[in-house]
Chains A and B, each alone.
Chain A
Amino acid sequence: MTTFGRVWRTGFKNIFRNAWLSSAATAIMVVTILVLTFFAFSTVFVRTQLAQVRSKIDLSLFINDDATQNQIQTLQSKIGTIPNVTSVNFVSKTDALDRLKNSSSEGAKLAQSAQDIGNPLPASFEVKLSNIDNISATNTSIKGLTEASIVTDSSYDNRDDSRKGVVENIIKISNSVSKIGAVLSILFLVISLLIIFNTIRMAIFTRREEVEIMKLVGATKWFIRGPFLVEGALYGILAAIISLAVTIPLTRTISSFLTDKLGAGPTLQYFSSHFLLLSGGMFAVGILIGVISSWLALIRYLKL
């Protein structure tokens, strides 16, 4: 216990001995943590965006005006049992007209004339799918139902491929964002490992006489290594604190911009509800980089 306290005290003191090197080590770690945070943020952002877009794309099935209430209800419950279907919403002819009316001033005019000629808009089912990629199969199985005779048309059959294209594009972008993020994160991790490694090695080099004497008076490896590992870990902790001090006010300041202009509201929500995970991750990354690189730097000097 006595030794443990001494190791910590020495590690703490050492940081202030070489203030410039310590600052460089901490700075590069801050950059690394910020880059990692940024990519974590953008990955979550793209994913939530994608989920939103996907949820907006659904299958519309238009229904014959002659269909009875009974037929409609049976079909609705039948469609609901198809595996890929998450919900089936019935839009009556009046609902359709109301929607058109409320869509825009242009739409209101159109709705007026539609009403005049007796509302030609069809009733429809809006089917939401859990997996948009299987839209074609689901469309086929719905139309294969015996109750589907009342369906006149499906949005998928009349599809405008641009929607699907949008989805595919988003998937592609999100995948490449993740890849670039991963590559850059690893790159920064390596750079920061190298810099901390060098910082600690220089610290050891300037103190090699001390290490030598410690060995001669019978210090164990852990007694010598301990303070350097503590030093590395403290750089990490300091860097995580600085990163948080940068990230939190920054996101607060630009949160309205992110929410209104980029629709990143859910992403911000995600991070504020997972704040502990995020800050814990920052500390973990910092401490790991610090300790691992100190450890590596020490190997050479610790041979007894």
Chain B
Amino acid sequence: MYPNKTVALSGVSLHINPKEFVTIVGSSGAGKSTLIRLLIKEEVPTSGKIIVGSIDYDTIDKANIPHLRRRIGVVFQDFKLLPNLTVYENVAFALEVSGVKSKEIKRAVPKILQLVGLSEKMHSYPSELSGGEKQRTAIARALVRNPKILIADEPTGNLDPKNSWDIIELLLKINRFGTTVLLTTHNKEIVDALKKRVITINRGRIVKDEKVGKYTL
């Protein structure tokens, strides 16, 4: 069984089940990004508890933050790819950082690139890719370590509708494989079409939490 996770933010608790696909919506500054930063321990809550799986964040000391981050895949709106590395190298980098053996890297990276549909672009640099391809590279990088949770922070923010849908479909596919997906977005169309759980945050508080939600702000 995948462990549960509980997040507390601004005095509000929320609970996300394993293998769930949750969308978090909220206007800019509502606290979506803070929530994500808390989850990768870039920020520490002043009060309250964060528990992801069996890990209580209070028990993680500084030296173990990198290990925590390796267990959670994160995708950002601005991709955060290394510009002087190829698609392959960017994905491999996440494994190198974890001390994975080169042989294992050579095996795992092409597989994951195939999953996100980037096998052909393996040796291209980020500057040679479209926005959607960049985001798929970032998703591949997040997935290559087999995280239980994938956090996608406005992954479609910089993409056109066609590319946005490709990314969302990829996230749904990943979710079907058993990864918990936490998506934040501004895109009403996507949220409404997903028919998945939607949590609405406003001014740091959860104002709505619906099993099959709509984008309402």
- The answer on a CB contact under 8 Å between A304 and B66 is yes
Report if A24 contacts B (CB, 8 A). Answer: no
* Residue of A6, A213, A214, A215 most packed against chain B (CB within 10 A): A213
Report if B107 contacts A (CB, 8 A). Answer: no
- The answer on a CB contact under 8 Å between B97 and A223 is yes
Report if A70 contacts B (CB, 8 A). Answer: no
Partner of B69, one of A6, A212, A217: A217
| Given A2-B102, A210-B82, A213-B80, residue A218 in contact with residue B62 (CB < 8 A) | no
Contacts of A269 in B (CB 8 A): none
* A176 vs B113: C-alpha distance when bound (angstroms): 69
Contact with A along B74-90 (1 / 0, CB 8 A): 10000011100000000
Contacts of B100 in A (CB 8 A): 2
- The answer on a CB contact under 8 Å between B62 and A2 is no
Report if A220 contacts B (CB, 8 A). Answer: yes
* Residue of B96, B98, B101 most packed against chain A (CB within 10 A): B96
- Chain B residue at smallest Cβ distance from A220: B66
- The answer on a CB contact under 8 Å between B66 and A219 is yes
- Chain A residue at smallest Cβ distance from B105: A2
Contact with A along B95-132 (1 / 0, CB 8 A): 01111111000000000000000000000000000000
- The answer on a CB contact under 8 Å between A304 and B65 is yes
Report if B93 contacts A (CB, 8 A). Answer: yes
* A6 vs B95: C-alpha distance when bound (angstroms): 12
Shortest CB distance B4–A (Å): 22
Report if B194 contacts A (CB, 8 A). Answer: no
* A215 vs B94: C-alpha distance when bound (angstroms): 10
* Residue of B40, B41, B66, B93 most packed against chain A (CB within 10 A): B66
Report if B141 contacts A (CB, 8 A). Answer: yes
Partner of B97, one of A212, A219, A304: A219
Report if A104 contacts B (CB, 8 A). Answer: no
- The answer on a CB contact under 8 Å between A213 and B82 is yes
Report if B176 contacts A (CB, 8 A). Answer: no
Contacts of A213 in B (CB 8 A): 80-82
Report if B49 contacts A (CB, 8 A). Answer: no
Chain A's interface: helix, strand, loop or mixed, by majority? helix
- The answer on a CB contact under 8 Å between B97 and A217 is yes
Task: Name the interface residues of B40-89: CB closer than 8 Å to any CB of A.
Answer: 40-42, 62-63, 65-70, 74, 80-82
- The answer on a CB contact under 8 Å between A216 and B96 is no
* A87 vs B67: C-alpha distance when bound (angstroms): 73
The size class of the interface chain A forms with chain B is 10 to 19
- The answer on a CB contact under 8 Å between B69 and A218 is yes
* A187 vs B98: C-alpha distance when bound (angstroms): 42
- The answer on a CB contact under 8 Å between A3 and B82 is no
- The answer on a CB contact under 8 Å between B67 and A218 is yes
* A219 vs B141: C-alpha distance when bound (angstroms): 13
Partner of A214, one of B65, B97, B102: B97
Contacts of A212 in B (CB 8 A): 80
Partner of B62, one of A210, A216, A223, A304: A304
* A209 vs B82: C-alpha distance when bound (angstroms): 8
Contacts of B65 in A (CB 8 A): 304
- The answer on a CB contact under 8 Å between B99 and A217 is no
* A2 vs B97: C-alpha distance when bound (angstroms): 10
Partner of A218, one of B81, B97, B101: B97
- The answer on a CB contact under 8 Å between A216 and B101 is no
- The answer on a CB contact under 8 Å between A3 and B74 is no
Shortest CB distance B80–A (Å): 5
| Given A210-B82, A304-B62, A304-B65, residue A217 in contact with residue B101 (CB < 8 A) | no
- The answer on a CB contact under 8 Å between A218 and B66 is yes
Task: Name the interface residues of A207-244: CB closer than 8 Å to any CB of B.
Answer: 209-210, 212-221, 223
* A6 vs B93: C-alpha distance when bound (angstroms): 10
Interface residues of B (CB under 8 A from A): 40-42, 62-63, 65-70, 74, 80-82, 93-94, 96-102, 141
Interface residues of A (CB under 8 A from B): 2-3, 6, 209-210, 212-221, 223, 304
**3 nearest A-B residue pairs (beta carbon):** A218-B69, A218-B70, A219-B97
